[in-house]
Structure 1
Amino acid sequence: MSALERLQAGGFSIGLELPLDNDWSSTAHHARGAAARLPGEPDMQRHFELAQLADRLGYRALWLRDVPLYDPSFGDAAQVFETFSYLGYLAAATKNILLGTAAVVLPLREPLLTLKSAATVDQLSGGRLLLGVASGDRPVEYPIFGRDFASRGASFREQIALARSWAGQALPPGVQLIPRPAQQQLPLLVAGLAQQSPQWIGEHLDGCLAYPGAPQDHAARSAAWRAEAGNKPYISFIHLDLAENPDEPLRRHRFGGRGGRKALAAELQAMQAAGVAHIGLHLRRNERPLDETMQEIAEFVLPGFALPRAA
């Protein structure tokens, strides 16, 4: 079974977006200052144990963003570590949870080395990689890496073709790119439109990584996606602050909301009804300890979306 099939097995599924740190919470600002971390730079001291906890608790996927350089105008360092190096580490630290990128900025990277890195992670993880890709949206990075921002759309198309042919005609006769992925073909999921038309994206990519939104937003977006891509999965994320009171109603904020576990379950059910196949929970705004939050969700919310038992 491919990683994409595992993501969708049993219907709707729930994952977590890294970093597993609540550094955007009100209490974390003081700790960041004391540790001399940059604004938007998470505390990674517990990332190993929390990734393993997510694996044990039955979350379906861990998602990593690709932020090559820290830009103070964005103020977000993502999970700090280089994406493919960190994926290799997580592959060894975990057993079952899928490992996804949301998303690798293809035009900034050397294409053949990107494929080799992705295949290495897929082999080391036993076929658990979901390769989310994008064209990038931070203009400051492109001249630093010697890349042209204006032509990133064309570069993106070329790298998708390279991945689909597994280097194909890009190599001289007899020269091969190894290892090959453990999966028959790496799942390629797109964040945004990557400077392409919806028709091209629907034809050439395997799934959609959509911007966060409310269920009504996703109902319209997922319908537009399926009009071009058929039944390929539509995936998104929620910035969650899980309240201690399980009955606290959902109060929306940008990209998500705060509420108790009952409100979270209702929101996820609405997402499922809106055509979302998978949600990654982003916990950087969460005021409570993350291990406590993850365990509560696993105990009371995940079972409502559990895989069906074999007969």
Structure 2
Amino acid sequence: METKPLLKVEGLKKYFPIQEGLLARTVGQVKAVDDVSFYVNEGETLGIVGESGCGKSTTGRMLMRLLEPTDGKVEFQGKELTSLTTEEMRKMRRDIQMVFQDPYASLNPRHTVGKILEEPLIVHGIGDSKERKKKVNEFLEIVGLSEYHAKRYPHQFSGGQRQRIGIARALMTNPKLIIADEPVSALDVSIQAQVLNLMQDLQKEFNLTYIFIAHDLGVVRHISDRVGVMYLGKLVEIADSEQLYLKALHPYTQALLSAVPVPEPDFKKEQILLEGDIPNPADPPTGCTFHTRCPHRMDICVKAVPKLREHSSGHSVACHLYGDSSDV
């Protein structure tokens, strides 16, 4: 029997209006996320990667309804999230939690760590005061801290320790899905590895499902089962992690992979240099949005938007190099 995905996203869009003048007239739109579809199975990690401004963090925030989608469907455990009321969505957040990029900005500096970790339990009415305190101490130990840390404030911790506190806070309500928005990009490389290993251990222990958002393909490789690559608000390729790294199909993915450092001094790798900058999302190019920087640009790329199609089992790509005549 085929299992249903834990999370299913269809045609997700987020357009921000561009307003001008005293009357704030809408003169255009920034298409931050433009028709993105994917699914996540229970217990797996889906990595979402791309350059800054590609829409990956906006996608993550829409899944939590921290940003309201312009269009599209988000289905979690068979429930349509976009149609829920504010109160219904608040209850749903018990099962969907988020770890933010900046571990300092996401923790209230006026509260002790104990109070920060206890807050989700109070919001969702979990346990009494004694049970909550016990759970706070338990989860501090789980993420590699001690119960005496509960009396300290966020500024008294290092960046890596603060991110551990952020992870502990996300775990407090026993969620099924955690959206990690660039959780290690603000940390030193040595600390990054510790936090990634911690997240993998917690996934096994609590049967967690992750959406791991990052701009570094090297980081994503170690934690993800499948990887989706975003460019200018669109998903351009999605595949099993190993398959993507061994045989990337989209020219943009190939360029990103060529820039990942290899820890072997004698290994020479040809780097693919893309011409130009990412286009303005308020005025995206016609056809394939990548055609202005693509080394394999064809005439059709300027005219027609390529659809995300399955090229081989579990490997989908949106590129006219692998398309057919129905795209025109």
The structure richer in helix per residue is 1
User: Relative contact order (alpha carbons < 8 A, sep ≥ 6): 1 or 2 greater?
Assistant: 1
TM-score range (shorter-chain normalised) is: 0.3 to 0.5
- TM-score where L is the length of structure 1: 0.37
The structure richer in strand per residue is 2
